[in-house]
Chain A
Amino acid sequence: MNRRAYDFWVGVFVVLGLAALAFLALRVSNVSSGNGRATYRVTAAFDNIGGLKAKAPIRSAGVLVGRVAGIRLDPETYRAVVSLDIEQGYHFSRDSSAEILTSGILGDQYIGLTPGGEETMLKNGDRITLTSSALVLEKLISQFMFSKASENPTEAKPAP
């Protein structure tokens, strides 16, 4: 085979490789994360974050508005402090509330932001004060069982 034939087939190979990469980048993945879009950082403290992880999405009305930047435990209050990177285009009032939700039955946990009514907006370094923790199934079940047990104590019949 002459040099031109080698060059031709290697050219085809490279084009195929680039096409595969373009397919993976554009059709398969989300290009949004780490794309350099400007964000501002706020924090929120939760009693329990459940299974929330760094890079988890932050959604408002179901729309992706940012991602969780990091999670740490406050050594004084023993609450989980979550850093939230919210995209610059989205503004939320200072009394917005953050809650940890689960997407679907098998889905990951994410943070849901509900805007409040105040006129001043959250800015870099602020803290969201209204938070509600993740739903922990074990706690829910034990609460349900306690409430059931205390609901009808009179029903317990004396032994014959």
Chain B
Amino acid sequence: MLEWLDTRIRAFGTPVVDALIKLGFGFRFFVSVLWHSLATLRRPRLVVREIYFSGVLSLIIILVSGLFVGMVLALQGYDTLQRFGASEALGVLVSLSLLRELGPVVAGLLFASRAGSAITAEIGLMKATEQLAAMEMMAVNPVARVMAPRFWGGVISMPVLAALFSAMGIFGGYLVGVVLIGVDAGSFWAQMQAQVDLRYDIGNGLIKSAVFGVAVAIIAVFEGFDAPPTAEGVSGATTRTVVTSSLVILGLDFILTAFMFRGI
């Protein structure tokens, strides 16, 4: 009986302990990346290169998705609003949905899938081919040379991508609402301008996307750094990056929304 209980407790306890160890290691790694960031920011060329890989190469998917999300929002929103005779409020609905929620969250999820997975795969492969070990042999700190630039590239790119996603979505909403359906253009923009607050809605949306950027970038870099140096290990780490980042984005979104928009 006791033996059976012992086995059960171990089966339950080991994954929990392993997860806590990984969390602690992840936090230590995060502090180490921040610590080595100063050295990295003195060499902006490295960060610019990573902004290119994380930000510029994610542009197409972000812009196209933003456009379609805005268009669908306008179609669905119009269908509901016109029942109440409030189709002029379409602009407000599209812009607030995008700026407060969909812009940061969907852009964050796309960024995790497009750029986060690429960062993990790249670092994992560098580890598998012993490039990181070779750097250490040459007295080059891989955290300062490889991890920190990728981290900052992601952190800087994410708010820009979220802003572009929202702007493109609002343009998509305009195309469907005003050009296709025929909502009055004046009321579309005027109601939007009356209801959307620069600091509250746009500012908080940008803060959200910056927090998501930090989360996705550190998870991507850490999973790459922690990946077992095999083909299977790298593929598993890439998958973990996407899954963990997505869950963290959704969880953080709930917490940030509760802080930012409660009581409005």
CA distance A72 to B177 in the complex (A): 40
Is there a chain B Cβ closer than 8 Å to A31's Cβ? yes
Is there a chain A Cβ closer than 8 Å to B15's Cβ? no
Cβ-defined contact, B198 with A16, below 8 A:
no
Q: Which of A100-143 contact B (CB under 8 A)?
A: 104-106
Is there a chain B Cβ closer than 8 Å to A73's Cβ? no
Cβ-defined contact, A25 with B202, below 8 A:
yes
Cβ-defined contact, A13 with B51, below 8 A:
yes
Is there a chain A Cβ closer than 8 Å to B52's Cβ? yes
CA distance A19 to B168 in the complex (A): 11
Is there a chain B Cβ closer than 8 Å to A148's Cβ? no
- Interface size in chain A (residues, C-beta < 8 A): 28
CA distance A16 to B162 in the complex (A): 12
Is there a chain B Cβ closer than 8 Å to A145's Cβ? no
Cβ contacts B61-98/A at 8 Å (1 or 0 each)? 00000000000000000000000111001000001000
- Interface size in chain B (residues, C-beta < 8 A): 38
Cβ-defined contact, B264 with A29, below 8 A:
no
CA distance A23 to B48 in the complex (A): 25
Q: Which of B135-183 contact A (CB under 8 A)?
A: 157, 159-161, 163-164, 166-168, 170
Q: Which residues of A contact B198 (CB under 8 A)?
A: 25, 29-31, 33-34
Q: List 14 A-B contacts (CB under 8 A).
A: A9-B56, A10-B56, A13-B51, A13-B56, A13-B160, A14-B160, A17-B159, A20-B166, A20-B167, A30-B195, A30-B196, A33-B198, A34-B199, A105-B84
Cβ-defined contact, B55 with A10, below 8 A:
yes
4 smallest beta-carbon distances between A and B, as pairs:
A17-B160, A20-B167, A29-B198, A29-B196
CA distance A27 to B202 in the complex (A): 12
Cβ-defined contact, A13 with B59, below 8 A:
yes
Q: Which residues of A contact B195 (CB under 8 A)?
A: 30
Is there a chain A Cβ closer than 8 Å to B193's Cβ? yes
